[in-house]
Homo-oligomer: A and B are copies of this chain.
Amino acid sequence: MREAFRNELDHLADQLVQMSELVTQAISLANKAILTADIDLAEQVIDADVAIDNLQTELDQNAIDILATQAPVAGDLRVVVSALRMSASIERMGDLARHIAQQARIRYPEQVIPGSFLGIFEGMARSSERIANATQQLLSHPGLSEVPNIAAIDEELDNLHLAVFNKIAEEHGLKSSTIADITLLSRYYERFGDHAESIAQKVEFLLTGNWDHREAQQP
């Protein structure tokens, strides 16, 4: 019985890893779609999001079944509740990758990102892929080493988000709808980072018991 319970917890952990693998793929394709105005890649990300949603539904159902049948306490209970919360964050990261792809699709065949902003958004694309990879690593091999890495990349994304606003304020001649598009796009990347950071904080808590309830805050 005890071993069956361990297997169930392991299965939850595997489902989190699977979800994060799909998110890593999604953000990587969404980045290519938005940077190169590739409608096929955009459609692929949009269509694939349902698989992440379905995995979340399954994971949440499994977590609730474990609560009902095993009545875990203490550390095991924290693991199950944290899995429910982390699955919500990962699912939301998938949504944000989909939103980025949707921006590419809405403006196709036009480029969403004007040339003068390409450098900043290439930076956001790289940081978002690194933070997705780091999150996947963290969930595959839980340990503290990825936690400061994820916090650092989240800060990179926050700084790039601010850089977008500073550049918008000093640029002239941009189309109004372009400014609206890149503002939203930048926000999506920044929120993507926040959710990864929120997952990292939960893993850190599970491993150490240290918990400041601070959720990632945005300016």
Chain A interfacial positions (CB closer than 8 Å to B): 53, 56-57, 64, 67-68, 71, 73-74, 77-78, 81, 84-85, 88, 91, 95, 99, 102, 165, 168-169, 171-172, 174, 176-177, 179-180, 183-184, 187, 213, 215, 217-219
Contact A177 B187 (CB under 8 A): no
CB neighbours of A95 from chain B (8 A)? 215, 217
CB neighbours of A218 from chain B (8 A)? 99
Task: Tell me which of B57, B88, B180, B219 contacts A85 (CB under 8 A).
Answer: B88
Contact B57 A213 (CB under 8 A): yes
CB neighbours of A187 from chain B (8 A)? 184, 187
Nearest B residue to A65 via CB reads B77
30 pairs, CB–CB < 8 Å, chain A vs chain B: A53-B213, A56-B213, A57-B213, A64-B78, A64-B81, A67-B67, A67-B81, A68-B73, A68-B74, A68-B77, A71-B71, A81-B84, A84-B84, A84-B85, A85-B88, A95-B217, A99-B218, A165-B180, A168-B176, A168-B177, A168-B179, A168-B180, A169-B176, A169-B177, A169-B180, A179-B180, A180-B183, A183-B183, A183-B184, A184-B187
